[in-house]
Amino acid sequence: MDDGPDLWSLNLRHLQAVAAVHARGSVSAAAKAVNLTQPAITQAIAGLEVRLGARLFDRRADGMTPTAAADLMAPRIHAALGHVASHRVTMAQMRAFIALADAGGYVGAGADTGLAQPSLHRSVQDLSVALQRTLVERRGRGVALTDAGRRVARGLRLARAELQAGLSELAALKGRETGRIAIGAMPLSRARLLPRAAAAFHRAWPDARISIVEGSFGELIEPLRDGVLDLMIGALREPGPGDDLVQRPLFKDRPIILGRAEHPLAKRPNPTIAEMAAYPWAVAARGAPLRSQWERMFADAGLTPPRVPIECGSVITIRGILLDSDFLTLLSADQVAVELGAGWLVKICDAPEGLVRNIGVTTRADWSPTALQRAFLLELEIVAKRSPGNALSELSAGF
């Protein structure tokens, strides 16, 4: 966090004390709940207030009254502790294990954190003992997470995301909008929707940070589930990807069939599906929504989809293939707006009616966005309404 406390400098037991006092209204009641003495809780809260730079409670003769800062932090702390799922885990163990899981080994984890490898080894071993699970196993000269280790890593990453969100909200309360939004960008979102929304958001919130990670659905879905990404933008899946995720549509996109300007079909008015089936195609791999629509286009015409010599999800690569051959492809006009404008590629024809994709946002079902993240969702909605497709409204109201 910019100009704010370091997440890893916080103490999970102290955070637990804050959540307990917030829930119960007094130090004495909280002490029984978290198995700490009253003086220890009082000292923990005082130290945390100094570290956070914010008063969390007003002290009264009849108890502790939470401030606005505590009201922001307590739900985040409660959610984080739920993901940690053990009062024995320390912040040092949490940091070490996430670093190991991210880097895939102690050498990389040490380089990423600046911590000595013996210290990392000790923290990971202590975590394994605290949770009474084998989290790491040796694989040759390296290490790998066990199934239990992968589950623990996900829980700790989600806990980190909740605490980072809490610190961001606390900074906003103090007048510093320094939060970070991590976005997974699938191919279609990269053309116009995300760039325009990001630029507009930066103008309104210049101190906020946006991290954009490009990838396919398969590459981005697990980072989203881990809390590494806050949201994912692109073509929605049918059926949905699981009960732990929520999909919300922004607009409908109707793709077009494309070829090079000198393609034999470029001058033909309304070529038939059968005529297009005679040419080679470069389309996305099986499982992608666009590939399913491409297959449906031929099936609805009573034809067997032609063989696909080149499977590719990269618009840049497909563009190069089309420019140098008689290949055809099925893409959104937004994805090739520059190429169409320059006359390098041309629209052979529109996809048949009914072949549309829902473009939208995917998040974790239990995700609670910060005010800053809600503001970004609103920018997405505004940009989507200007899309040539059938825009949908009130995206941010669903979170």
Cα 206 from Cα 332, distance rounded (Å)? 31
338-346, long-range: CB within 8 Å, 24+ apart, which pairs? 343/261, 344/260, 344/261, 344/319, 345/258, 345/259, 345/260, 345/261, 345/319, 346/258, 346/259, 346/260, 346/261, 346/263, 346/266
Contacts of 157 (CB under 8 A, 6+ apart): 98, 101, 226, 227, 228
Q: Find the helix or strand (DSSP H, E) in which 73 lies.
A: helix 68-84
Token duo for residue 175: 């007048």
Q: In order of start, what are the domains of the chain with their CATH numbers?
A: 1-175 (1.10.10.10), 179-252+358-398 (3.40.190.10), 255-355 (3.40.190.10)
Residue 146 in this model has a pLDDT that exceeds 60? yes
In the chain, the percentage of residues whose pLDDT exceeds 90 is 72
Confidence of residue 3 (pLDDT cuts 50, 70, 90): very low
* Residues of the chain by 3-state class (helix, strand, coil), percent to 5: 50, 20, 30
Lowest pLDDT segment from 19-23, 100-104, 205-209, 284-288: 284-288
pLDDT of residue 321: 96
Q: How far apart are the C-alpha atoms of 18 and 202, rounded to whole Å? A: 34
Q: End-to-end CA distance of the chain, in Å?
A: 24
| pLDDT band for position 96 (cuts 50, 70, 90) | very high
Residue predicted with more confidence, 210 or 389? 210
Whether this model's pTM surpasses 0.75: yes
- Beta-ladder partners of 360: 234, 249
Would you state the pLDDT for residue 214? Answer: 93
Residues 155-168: tens digit of each pLDDT = 999 999 999 999 99
CB contact at 8 A, 27 and 64: yes
Q: What's the rounded Cα separation, in Å, for the pair 327 and 267?
A: 15
The yes-or-no verdict on residue 274 having pLDDT over 80 is yes
What DSSP assignment string belongs to 179-224?
-EEEEEE-GGGGTTHHHHHHHHHHHH-TT-EEEEEE--HHHHHHHH
Give the other-Cβ count within 10 Å of 190's Cβ.
Answer: 17
C-beta atoms surrounding 113 within 10 Å: 18
pLDDT of amino acid 397: 60
Phi, psi (degrees; rounded to nearest 5) at 56:
-100, -30
219-to-87, 146, 232, 253, 302 alpha-carbon distances in Å = 33, 21, 11, 22, 34
Average of per-residue pLDDT across 166-192: 88
